[in-house]
Amino acid sequence: MTRNFLGNSPIVGPVTLFSLLMVPMVMSCFFVVYALAGWVIDGRDRLNWAIEAPTVSTWVAVSMVTFSGLVIAYTRWRGGSWWHPLIVSSVGHIVVSLLMTLSVFITVKL
């Protein structure tokens, strides 16, 4: 049995842990770049961005919240505490996705 540095068996394996930490990181990085693009572009590009941005940001936020919710449920089902890195990361990604969605809607209204 594999042991971690605390001496007890791990909640999830290392490959699963890596995968469940990397997927939302990639999506959050995309979302940050996409939301911040609205602050920098101007002219016709800004208009085209503003047309599609609310829909894109809503779907990305829904996807991030759903994925993170499933990761939290999986980690709790496997016996992880509320301070497990997967749960902390998931809560952080939910907050980031909601803030980026808010940023997009504010930018579109400007």
Domain coverage including residue 25: 14-109
C-alpha 55, offset from chain centre: 17
**pLDDT per residue as tens digits for the range 67-95:** 999 999 999 998 888 888 899 999 999 99
Give this prediction's pTM. Answer: 0.81
pLDDT band with cut points at 50, 70 and 90 for residue 110:
confident
Burial 42-57 (b: 16+ CB within 10 A, else e): eeeebeebbeebeeeb
pLDDT score at 6: 52
Instruction: Find the farthest-apart pair of alpha carbons in the chain and give their distance in angstroms, rounded.
Output: 60
- Does 37 reside within a domain? yes
Fill in the DSSP letter of residue 10: P
Number of domains within the chain:
1
**pLDDT per residue as tens digits for the range 37-50:** 888 888 888 888 88
Fill in the DSSP letter of residue 7: S
Fill in the DSSP letter of residue 3: -
pLDDT score at 102: 92
Structure tokens at 44: 């016709």
